[in-house]
Amino acid sequence: MNHWVRTNAELKECCEVLQQLPLIGLDTEFMRTNTFFPIPALIQVSTPDQVFFLDPQLITDFSPFRAILDSEEIVKIMHAIGEDVELLRIAAGARLARVFDTQIAAVLCNKGFSLGYAALVKKLLDIDIEKGETRSNWLARPLSEAQEKYAAVDVVYLHQMYNILARELNEKNCMAAVYEDTDRLISQSHIEIIDDYYLKLRGGWRLPKENQQALKYLCIWRENKARSKNTPRSRIIDDNTLIEIATVLPKDTAELNEIHCQKPWVIRKQSDEILAALSSAAAQDVNWDSLPLISRPLDSNQQLLYKKMKKLITRKSEEVSIPFEILANKKMLEKTILQSYDCRKVVLAEELLGWRGTIIGDLVKDTLQQQIAAEFGSSVNS
């Protein structure tokens, strides 16, 4: 049965019910077509026998619900939490604690990698569900009957899936791994990436340090402007154009306007701001040795090392029945290899610590240490 919660008083009553439960299902709907920040449209909460629709367009005091979201005592069952974390922070001011992500759990249980909600419901419960309302207008009121049905379906099966997955995880002694990975995702989503956003522009890895410093300040300018105007980054200026500007380092408007890009009017309209960002970059007293640089691709020796590590970890993943993709994916291994080569000692990526470290930590360390010692000398420390 579905219940709408539209007022602060109704939310308080709803939360009095929810806080008595050991676990709840949770999902969100939002709009993010032409804005930087998502617009909260609906929050769905399920118990084993009912669904609550919380209306963030009408509720003004989310503090009772925030206490539930941040509680370590109540398990929040969610699927693929990525965007939901940001939405719940914006709507309710919540950080989220004790979240069980069924997508992560499914991988650990060998049900499939990165399965969508509908696919996992089919896999575990043999139930077909429709996803036709995904892109509909969730800010509309009233919601259509089809929208309400879709919104309810998105949380109604979470409890059943939790029961199946939790049982298998406990048998494999992997329950803690789900919470560890989910906690890391939540923590990362709460980090405001402004100063270091340029590190995401992988196409700029060839740029010298001075140019990467310029790219950093160009990205800071764009980030602040996109947030203040609540408009997507690409509407301000696209990544490739920022990289081109940082490559050329124009000194004035004439040089700036000579840069080739798909939307030259974007540069012309913002030329003063772009040049100001470049001037700010040039004016900084930079310790170039400490400037974080955009991750470079692996060289030929590092590629061979990656392949060797992947082969060893794949064999280990088969022994412990945990897919390679979650045990140590390409991003984790590349980060570990590059960090270790830069420091000339073994430096594991954060993701390879914790539960992963207990399974493959020694394997990765030994393989890396042998390779680095062979290239840089036998005095390498782990």
Supply 191's token pair. 């980090």
Checking if the pLDDT of 63 tops 60, the result is yes
Query: Which residue type sits at 177?
Result: A
Residue 261 confidence class, pLDDT cut points 50, 70, 90: confident
- Side-chain-facing half-sphere of 285: CA atoms under 13 Å: 0
The superfamily CATH assigns to domain 2-189 is Ribonuclease H-like superfamily/Ribonuclease H (3.30.420.10)
Q: State which fold the 197-290 domain adopts.
A: DNA polymerase; domain 1 (1.10.150)
CB contact at 8 A, 310 and 333: yes
Q: What is the mean pLDDT of residues 302-329?
A: 95
Give this prediction's pTM.
0.92
Question: Is the pLDDT assigned to residue 211 strictly greater than 90?
Answer: yes
381 — pLDDT class (breaks 50, 70, 90): low
Distances (CA, A) of 250 to 241, 247, 297: 13, 9, 27
CA atoms of 332 and 69, how far apart (whole Å):
29
What are the sequence ranges of the domains in the chain? 2-189, 197-290, 300-376
Which residue in 75, 9, 71, 14 sits closest to 43, CA to CA? 14
pLDDT at 220: 98
* 378: pLDDT strictly greater than 80: no
pLDDT at residue 93 greater than cutoff 70? yes
pLDDT in tens, 343-370: 999 999 999 999 999 999 999 999 999 9
Q: What is the chain's mean pLDDT, rounded?
A: 95
* Per-residue model confidence as pLDDT tens digits over 119-149: 999 999 999 998 777 778 999 999 999 999 9
Third-level CATH fold of 300-376: DNA polymerase; domain 1 (1.10.150)
Would 2-189 and 300-376 be classified into the same CATH topology?
no
**Cross-strand bridge partners of residue 26:** 45
